[in-house]
Structure 1
Amino acid sequence: MSHVVAHTNIEVRYAETDQMGVVHHSNYIVWMELGRTQLIKELGFSYAEMEKSGILAPVLDVQVSYKKPLTYGDNAIIKTWIDSYDGFKVTYGYTVLSESGELAVTGLTSHVCVRKEDFRPVRLKKMFPDWHEAYEKAKKKENEGY
């Protein structure tokens, strides 16, 4: 397996727009979560199953850059990949494109795994060696663009 980029399609709903008629900025973070979940599924795993085992992966950091607004009825394509991974922290990368391929948003989210009962960090490599191996193989390589 080489790098993996998940594609998630979303039709912009009226409720996702603001008074200006464009997608409210907060919705892009929700869409990133959908993209991340799709990527994990495409890698053969389930975040819900991870949670059932007592491990969570909270967001540490979010970076979003807005390039072009999307509006009600537009179709958005969220591309999601593992931008970096060191066995402990994973950073997912995102681009949101219009149906015609215009760049609307870029973003990154960083996560670590923690135990549900006390939020103490754990190494993905130790807790889920199969995830670790898949992430190592799927992560973005040097000088690779999306």
Structure 2
Amino acid sequence: MFISETQIEVRYAETDAMQVVYHGQYVVWFEIGRTRLIKDLGFHYADMEKAGFVSPVTDIQLSYKRPFRYGEMATIRTWIQSHSGIRTTYAYEIVNETGDVCVIGSSVHTVVNKETFRPVKFKKEFPEWHAVYEKEKQGQ
């Protein structure tokens, strides 16, 4: 199983009145990690959009373990947890500089036609991408 890693330095604007990263920011970090994973696997989300499709979030889960503060480095680890050809679940683990797990989570996505928002078969519209996801979900 391939795990993509992306580092982020916590910016002041990402913190709240308690001087810790605002909880909603982790959803943005998940997107950064997911985009990096897709790129690391050889694809670009922008190409999907150019072809007339988007991949909305249908479910998202987060669990907070430790806070991040301004100036710290966060590493977002992202991988494909499951892929059915209709839905893909991405898993995330965000760790601090000492390797402590601070946030874990997952997001579920489906591919839809940008105009109609009707789901499409990933395998049919993006066969090469689908083949890589099938391989990765099996941990090969």
TM interval, short-chain normalised: over 0.9
Q: Per the alignment, do residues 7 and 90 of structure 1 end up closer, same or farther by CA in structure 2, a change over 3 Å counting? A: same
Could you tell me which residue of structure 2 aligns to residue 106 of structure 1?
A: 104
- The residue type equivalent to 1:108 in the other structure is S
**What SS class does the counterpart of residue 68 from structure 1 fall into?**
coil
- The residue type equivalent to 1:10 in the other structure is I
User: Is 1:19 equivalent to 2:36 in the alignment?
Assistant: no
1:19-50 C-alpha deviation (Å, 9 max, x unpaired): 00000001110000000000000110000110
Matches of 1:93 and 1:7 in 2, distance apart? 12
Matches of 2:23 and 2:52 in 1, distance apart? 31
TM-score by length of 2: 0.97
User: Is 1:50 equivalent to 2:48 in the alignment?
Assistant: yes
Return 5+ residue gaps in structure 2 as ranges: none
Matches of 2:137 and 2:80 in 1, distance apart? 5
Give 1:57 shift: 0.2
**What SS class does the counterpart of residue 34 from structure 1 fall into?**
helix
TM-score by length of 1: 0.93
Return 5+ residue gaps in structure 1 as ranges: 142-146
Could you tell me which residue of structure 2 aligns to residue 29 of structure 1?
A: 27
Matches of 2:134 and 2:77 in 1, distance apart? 19
Matches of 1:94 and 1:140 in 2, distance apart? 17
Across the two proteins, how many residue pairs are aligned to each other?
139
- The residue type equivalent to 1:73 in the other structure is G
- 1:1-146 → structure 2 map (5 Å cutoff): 3-139=1-137, 141=139
Matches of 1:56 and 1:12 in 2, distance apart? 29
Give 1:100 shift: 0.7
**4+ aligned runs moved over 2 Å, structure 1:** none
- The residue type equivalent to 2:125 in the other structure is M
**What SS class does the counterpart of residue 28 from structure 1 fall into?**
helix
**What SS class does the counterpart of residue 25 from structure 1 fall into?**
coil
Matches of 2:18 and 2:4 in 1, distance apart? 30
